[in-house]
Amino acid sequence: MTSLAYLLCQFTNFELIGSYGRLALARRVFGQQPIQHALDEISGVLNGWGYRSTAGSHHGLRRILCEVLLLNRSPRLADLSGDTLLALRQQPALSRWNQDAIHAIHRAVAALGYTHPPAAPRTSTGPAPITGAAASWSQWVDRWAQTSTLTPKVRTTYRTILAKAGRWLAEQHPDITSPEQWTRQTCAAWLAAVDRLSAGDYVQHRTGSPTRWGTPLSARTKASYIKVVRVFLRDCQEWEWIPRRFDPIVALTGLYD
């Protein structure tokens, strides 16, 4: 049905149909040989640059490239101009994917001589300031992020979740602006709030597919929200930044752990 809709009705709103076999669809409408040729060309360039070629990453690359080709309605990499690739990145069907992978595909297409390379990513000047939370809470979060020995990527994830906790505090408990003011009752309130959170709640900027906004968080995501605040409060106590008035490990053990 998807193939017929694509061929006869110009259908490309793939974000509306959920999970589907992108490689199978691309092979069905374009033929197996043209798709395999495009995959081999892109993989050859990226592998030569040292991109991971594990089964999982390779499978993800194939899915993204097939979606790019389907949206462009051509199996030929030569038909992917730089402007086309930049425009395709804004399509809802692709905006949910890892943009780094799409950027890598653009670079590979350029290296093959089919288009000009993408602009270099802007150099980061540090994390964006936290907005919507009390200034004192944001300062505590940034102090923790600068001190923690976790990897930069993990610290960034923790900082994002702690910023959400700060916005929740500003809305529900505006008198609490630092980890020192947390009590067992605050922890219980956070556990209850996490259980009711939906995608898009307390974020700084809404990105990705709008269809996800308002949908319940997965149990795994809820567990991570609880864990991050637990680690934050534990570290603040262990590093003697705040007095130890309760055990965060006990107070912040939720149903999702």
- 3-state secondary structure labels for all residues of the chain: CHHHHHHHHCCCCHHHCCCCCHHHHHHHHHCHHHHHHHHHHHHHHHHHCCCCCCHHHHHHHHHHHHHHHHHHCCCCHHHCCHHHHHHHCCCHHHHCCCHHHHHHHHHHHHHCCCCCCCCCCCCCCCCCCCCCCCHHHHHHHHHHHHHCCCCHHHHHHHHHHHHHHHHHHHHHCCCCCCHHHCCHHHHHHHHHHHHHCECCCCCCCCCCCHHHCCCECCHHHHHHHHHHHHHHHHHHHHCCCCCCCCCHHHHCCCCCC
Q: What is the mean pLDDT of residues 210-226?
A: 84
5 pLDDT more than 80: no
Question: How far is residue 41's CA from residue 1's CA, in Å, rounded to a whole number?
Answer: 29
63 is written with which tokens? 């899915």
Q: What sign results for the dihedral spanned by CA atoms 144, 214, 194, 226?
A: negative
106 pLDDT higher than 50: yes
209 pLDDT higher than 80: no
**Residue 245 CB neighbours (<10 A):** 11
**What pLDDT score was predicted for residue 164?**
94
Q: What is the pLDDT of residue 84?
A: 81
Instruction: Sketch the domain layout of the chain as residue ranges.
Output: 2-111, 135-251
Mean pLDDT across the stretch 80-96? 74
C-alpha span between 74 and 71 (Å, rounded) = 8
Distance, CA of 238 to CA of 73 (rounded, Å) = 57
Residues in the chain: 257
Confidence of residue 54 (pLDDT cuts 50, 70, 90): very low
pLDDT recorded at residue 235: 95
Which of 46-50, 111-115, 235-239 has the largest mean confidence? 235-239
Count of other CB atoms within 10 angstroms of residue 176: 20
First to last CA, the chain: 41
pLDDT, residue 6, reads 76
At residue 236, does pLDDT exceed 50?
yes
Which position has the higher pLDDT, 216 or 12? 216
Confidence of residue 179 (pLDDT cuts 50, 70, 90): very high
pLDDT at 38 over 50: yes
Give the pLDDT band of residue 55 (cuts 50, 70, 90). very low
- Band the pLDDT of 176: cuts 50, 70, 90: very high
Q: What is the sign, positive or negative, of the torsion defined by CA atoms of 74, 78, 81, 87?
A: positive
Tokens of 30: 């374009």
pLDDT, residue 56, reads 42
pTM > 0.75 = no
**Which pLDDT score is estimated for 257?**
57
Averaged pLDDT, 92-107 = 72
Average pLDDT of the chain is 84
**CB burial string 12-47: b at 16+ within 10 A, e below:** bebbeeeeeebbebbbebbeeebbeebbebbbebbe
